[in-house]
């Protein structure tokens, strides 16, 4: 039995309703930069949870000290070096934070184990590591172990050098919660989702400290560096359709990035305050409904676009402006205006022009197995395609109320409104109903370089994934009014 691994299970939707919910949006002025980044992206609307937007290579500092830690079975590889530095670093963090925030000393881990899932058969008090592609905290021997053979190199090659620090900081989070016990609402029968959300949150607290340049080992930029973190958390999400109440549940990507961001923004006390009740109230992870066909993915055709249009009209009727028509005329481009295929908002005639064939490709079900093995799934799911269209529709609403549509704030406000619409689609009786896995399809889209969900009318999006995901989540969890106040 493994406790507290970073991964839950190895692994992979909208249907009809609509809510009476009417999203309001008021006219607003815009602030924030309008410059363009090297990939056509925009600088953020201001800051990352109060920290400046920074760009530099994230990873170990050139003058990082050598960690003074005993590690069983280490092989001196780059992945061991990164993992051991992350453990040493996060332990330093906790030796500062535990007395400050919780009035107790941090006791270092009793043992550390590096292994390769390809070949090693080491034993721990939690069982053998044979073939175990994971990292975990084992309470009986107070140890942290990690797979340097498959998991860590794969994450590093795909996302960069901060990926293993995310994994190890998460495991340290479990060690901390065992030390805090009831101070962190942890009892013997605490459900795994509570432990996992807290561990992601504690990892966020540690990353904040690194981003503030308090670490001797690591440095992380708030743009590309935190993008690595977001992408790593996305990959290690649970399989769509998992129940949050299942033993071993870790959360959707939406839930995992949320917990991380709470720790980053509010600190470890907020993490320790997470409990079964408040997590249950907001967790998005749930099984597929009985009526969901396939994995909840709808086939994109004229009929479903009609339902989508109705869902958007209903959701945004509170704005009091005509919602754009959605049309295949123009095939995703906007003659005489700016084209952002596969969907463009044409301000001249208030329409959203879509390329049905391209969007249908995007709407193919996510292949979580392929994504895990090769880093690539052909489709991103129906909700990714719906979100792209919804984002262009939201552009029309924003223009209608006199908000700007061509800068970083407009991009973030758009992601926020897509989140608010997704929430409206999650209530019983909605025209288009959100199914399990849908929110993660929106996040997958948000993390891809060509995504429109957080893009302004010209297709430019803010460059950091942290802000993009936060904007979507705020709209979903709070309300559409936060979209105009936050990104005004």
From the CB of 76, what's the least distance to Zn ion, in Å?
A: 26
- Token duo for residue 104: 């107790």
User: By C-beta, is 4 or 381 nearer to Zn ion?
Assistant: 4
* Three-state secondary-structure class, residue 124: strand
How many residues sit close enough to Zn ion to count as binding (CB under 5 A)?
A: 3
E strands present in 181-324: 218-219
Nearest to 300 by CA among 352, 380, 383, 360: 360
| Contact pattern from residue 151 through residue 190 relative to Zn ion, giving x for each residue in contact according to CB under 5 A and a dash for the rest | ----------------------------------------
From the CB of 5, what's the least distance to Zn ion, in Å?
A: 6
Nearest to 25 by CA among 307, 427, 396: 396
Stretch that binds Zn ion, among 97-105, 197-205, 352-360, 396-404 (CB under 5 A): 197-205
- Token duo for residue 153: 């190199």
Contact by Cβ (8 Å): 79, 152 = yes
User: By C-beta, is 64 or 133 nearer to Zn ion?
Assistant: 133
Cβ-based burial of 286 (10 A; exposed 0-12, middle 13-18, buried ≥19) = middle
Does residue 71 bind Zn ion (CB under 5 A)? Answer: no
Q: What is the dihedral of CA 327, 328, 334, 339, to 10 degrees?
A: 110
Stretch that binds Zn ion, among 39-47, 192-200, 308-316, 452-460 (CB under 5 A): 192-200
Among 151, 167, 199, 403, the residue binding Zn ion under the rule CB under 5 A is 199
Does residue 8 bind Zn ion (CB under 5 A)? Answer: no
Stretch that binds Zn ion, among 196-204, 239-247, 284-292, 355-363 (CB under 5 A): 196-204
Does residue 4 bind Zn ion (CB under 5 A)? Answer: yes
Does residue 459 bind Zn ion (CB under 5 A)? Answer: no
From the CB of 280, what's the least distance to Zn ion, in Å?
A: 18
User: By C-beta, is 124 or 364 nearer to Zn ion?
Assistant: 124
- Token duo for residue 2: 């493994």
Does residue 379 bind Zn ion (CB under 5 A)? Answer: no
E strands present in 324-415: 325-327, 343-346, 351-354
Beta bridge partners of 461: 455
Beta bridge partners of 351: 325, 346
User: By C-beta, is 4 or 475 nearer to Zn ion?
Assistant: 4
Residue ranges binding Zn ion (CB under 5 A): 4, 196, 199
């Amino acid at each position: 039995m493994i406790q507290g691994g970073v991964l839950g299970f190895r692994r992979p939707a909208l249907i009809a309703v609509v809510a009476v919910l009417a999203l309001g949006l008021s006219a607003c002025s815009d602030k924030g930069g309008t410059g363009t980044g090297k990939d056509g992206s925009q600088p953020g609307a201001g800051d990352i949870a109060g920290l400046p937007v920074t760009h530099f290579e994230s990873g170990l500092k050139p003058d990082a000290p050598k960690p003074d830690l005993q590690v069983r079975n280490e092989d001196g590889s780059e992945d061991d070096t990164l993992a051991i530095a992350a453990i040493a670093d996060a332990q330093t963090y906790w030796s500062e934070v535990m007395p400050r925030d919780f009035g107790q000393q941090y006791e270092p881990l009793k043992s550390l184990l590096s292994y390769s899932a390809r070949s090693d058969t080491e034993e721990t008090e939690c069982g053998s590591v044979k073939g175990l592609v994971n990292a975990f905290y084992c309470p009986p021997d107070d140890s942290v172990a990690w797979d340097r053979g498959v998991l860590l190199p794969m994450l590093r090659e795909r996302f960069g050098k901060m990926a293993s620090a995310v994994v190890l900081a998460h495991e340290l989070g479990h060690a901390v919660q065992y030390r805090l016990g009831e101070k962190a609402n942890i009892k013997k029968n605490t459900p795994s989702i509570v432990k996992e959300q807290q561990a992601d949150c504690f990892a966020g607290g540690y990353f904040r400290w690194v981003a503030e340049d308090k670490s001797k080992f690591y440095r992380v930029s708030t743009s590309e560096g935190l993008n690595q973190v977001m992408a790593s958390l996305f990959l290690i999400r649970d399989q769509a359709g998992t129940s949050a109440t299942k033993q071993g549940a870790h959360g959707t990507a939406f839930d995992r990035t949320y917990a991380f961001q709470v720790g980053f923004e509010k600190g470890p006390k907020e993490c320790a305050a997470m409990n079964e009740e408040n997590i249950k109230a907001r967790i998005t992870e749930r099984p597929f409904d009985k009526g969901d066909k396939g994995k909840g993915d709808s086939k994109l055709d004229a009929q479903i676009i009609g339902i989508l249009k109705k869902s958007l009209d209903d959701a945004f009727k509170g704005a009091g402006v005509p919602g754009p028509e959605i049309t295949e005329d123009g095939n995703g481009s906007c003659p005489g205006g700016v084209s952002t295929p596969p969907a463009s908002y044409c301000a001249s005639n208030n329409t959203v022009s879509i390329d049905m064939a391209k969007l249908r490709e995007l709407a193919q079900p996510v292949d979580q197995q392929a994504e895990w093995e090769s880093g690539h799934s052909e489709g991103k799911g129906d909700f990714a395609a719906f979100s792209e269209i919804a984002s262009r529709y939201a552009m029309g609403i924003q223009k209608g109320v006199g908000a700007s549509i061509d800068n970083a704030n407009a991009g973030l406000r758009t992601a926020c409104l897509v989140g608010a619409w997704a929430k409206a689609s999650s209530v019983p009786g909605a025209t288009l109903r959100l199914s399990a896995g849908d929110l993660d399809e929106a996040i997958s889209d948000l993390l891809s370089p060509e995504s429109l969900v957080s893009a302004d009318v010209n297709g430019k999006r803010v460059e950091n994934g942290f802000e993009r995901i936060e904007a979507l989540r705020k709209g979903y969890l709070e309300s559409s009014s936060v979209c105009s106040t936050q990104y005004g």
